[in-house]
Structure 1
């Protein structure tokens, strides 16, 4: 199971960041868990008035994340792709992952990677941040994007210090 070795990040004050969440609609129970985790994290990090945009599926995440990146300091992308009996899983997973990576690199805006790519629904539910889940990937993706946004802001302002 993944999750072992995750950093022990404490919430920081991100009240001055403009943040958007783009979330797929497929697999409603899993998506509700991911969104709840993201919203709890945004609240803990004191993000004010985040925007949430829904898209049909994981394939649509990159294009909407790209549009949001023009106006926001961080974008969190949430979705789930569950392996089936056709190559569809690989195509959608790779396209969404590559697309989100490209958005982050091309725009310089951190994209919280909350795209679950699971072999089965049980794995997805276990990562969705539900009451009986082992992991909360909605929270983790959001925290990563917020911490990265604050780090990038320090770098751009010339205030970065060694973190050793």
Structure 2
């Protein structure tokens, strides 16, 4: 997957490009576009509409599903990508360029600090969405581990180092 370094990312797979101190461009990542499949319709807010951080600002429909679009920041929509009305497949063809969705005038620029860099998003994606049929993230740090006393219904309690997020009942040591 391609993750441009000049963008910021969310866990919901939206990207954000800072154009000026108060204006940003928002779209969805290549991963989100690939997972959706062929995009057939994009519903975007009108210019002048207010959006809130992590609030729904529109919908995207593909041959597989309909998904909501989330705004990474709060502000006012100053421009929308009118080309998506006639050619929604731009989202699939050029997610980071012609497939952008809206431009927002920020109401609180400090919200940009809470978004992920390209490197962090790539690590997030690789650890959360890695599949057996995709290459493993060999150069990424391992998941955090702690020594815990763990038990399952089939085994007695044991002390070992395990990833912090497992389906077992564990107690910190």
TM-score using structure 1 length = 0.27
Higher relative contact order (CA 8 A, sep 6+): 1
